Structure 1
Amino acid sequence: MRKITAGLFISVDGVIEDPQDWHFPYFNDEMGAAVDAQLGSADTLLLGRATYDGFAEAWPGREQEGGEDAPFAKKLGDARKVVVSHQNLELTWRNSEVLKGGLVEGVAALKAEQGGDIGMSGSVSVVRQLLVAGLLDELHLLVHPIVVGKGDRLFRDGSEEIGLRLLSSQTFATGVLNLVYTRAETSATGGYDEAKAHLAQ
């Protein structure tokens, strides 16, 4: 079974909208390596329509320009790109296709295929749905030390309660936390009666 990993830039107050407006001051070699490990190592990218459109507008040109980010742009271009959309799209970026069937059924079939990891970036509505459906294997959160104060958040009011288990954590020199979670197999239980035993005496 293939593994699906999703990477998101997120602020301390949970904002994931328009990261280009606030996250670049924190992008250093450590973050670049983390992004490459999560997204650049995948042989398939699963992208929502809006994320795909943004990537397809930017990355092919960066690959052609041959700048410092051209090798990463080529990785993205060479990867198979599966786009979540209910519309018939004309996909201009090479190796691109529309996900077949409904989201849950289509992604389950994609996971069952032969191949390497499936990487996601952005595509927050898809991430939410896959997490609820139990199809997302790892959630990579790059938590930036900034309060954005407005914008869409990863988990909105009224979201379903989902237990997570921390797989790894790393603190970058910029203060960014690189946190990797998976779904917890069981929900945490307990109340104050259990917690008070751990208070300092």
Structure 2
Amino acid sequence: MRTLTVAAFVSLDGVMQAPGGPEEDTSGGFRFGGWIVPYADQTTGQAVQDLFSLPFELLLGRRTYDIFAAYWPHASADSPHHTIADLFNGVPKHVATHRGDSLEWHNSHALPGNLVDAISALKRQDGPRLLTQGSGDLVRQLLAAGLVDELRLMIHPILLGRGKRLFDDNAQAAAFTLLSSISSPGGVLIARYTRSGEVRTGTFQGGGGR
């Protein structure tokens, strides 16, 4: 068995659309593409390096796959991101797509048949953890199916008001435990959560609100 980690850049109101650049995803008239760039510093950079420090295989939605495939194979050796490029170019990439014959990036594989069944089968295999970056539509399906074991969130101190969100009303109820958290000088909260069972409820006794 292996685990599935969702890593995401999010705003305070949960938007995850187009964090890296203006042209990344303008669907729906989104006009704030590149909103994480002003907050990038050594702390956030180290958090990204830490995320990729353990073995992983990528699990991607088609839109994110196409964005990555257009960039990472062409990253130059003197790029500041060349270490990540080497990792991404080498690891297996499992892609939610109906156009499997168009996956040209090295070591890319289309998920067969029903998406939830295919990812459940991947999780039952031995191997490194599955890691999802971006891929909002895919992530929302994973959350609805209860397949997410860990959340790695970088929560930025901005409200974007509109855009594609990490969570929707279909997410399966679950409790998570905060394993670690730090903040960057720019106010980015970097938090790691692992799934810890069912949601617990209770009531306050003794009229504490009187």
Task: Pick the TM interval, shorter chain.
Answer: 0.7 to 0.9
Aligned equivalent of 1:8: 8
Q: TM-score, normalised by structure 2?
A: 0.84
Identity among equivalent positions (%) equals 39
* Cα-Cα RMSD: 2.1
| Contact 2:95/2:109, CA 8 A, preserved across alignment | yes
Per-residue Cα deviation, 1:21-45 (whole angstroms, up to 9, x for no partner)? 2101111222122222224534310
1:52 match: 65
CA contact 2:97–2:110 (8 Å) conserved in 1 = yes
Q: Check 1:152–1:93 CA distance in 2 against 1; reply closer, same or farther (3 A cut).
A: same
Match of 1:108 in 2: 120
Tell me, what secondary structure is at the counterpart of 1:169? strand
Q: Is contact 2:13–2:161 with CA below 8 Å preserved after alignment?
A: yes
Change (3 A) 1:154 1:95: same
Unaligned 5+ runs, structure 2: 21-33
Distance change (3 Å), C-alpha of 1:169 and 1:100: same
| Shift in Å, 1:119 | 1.0
How far off its partner does 1:173 sit? 1.7
TM-fit CA distance, 1:65:
4.6
Size of the aligned set, in residue pairs, is 196
Alignment gaps of 5+ in structure 1: none
**What is aligned with 1:92?**
104
Change (3 A) 1:163 1:195: farther
Matches within 5 A, 1:178-193: 178-191=190-203, 193=204
Q: CA deviation at 1:48?
A: 0.3
What is the CA–CA distance in structure 2 between the aligned matches of 1:25 and 1:14, rounded to whole Å?
Answer: 18
**1:38 and 2:51 matched:** yes
Deviations 1:78-135 (A, max 9, x none): 1111101123331121111111221111111111222111111001121122122221
Residue 25 of structure 1 aligns to a residue whose secondary structure is helix
Residues 144-170 of structure 1: per-residue CA shift (max 9 Å, x gap): 0111222122223x3346233223222
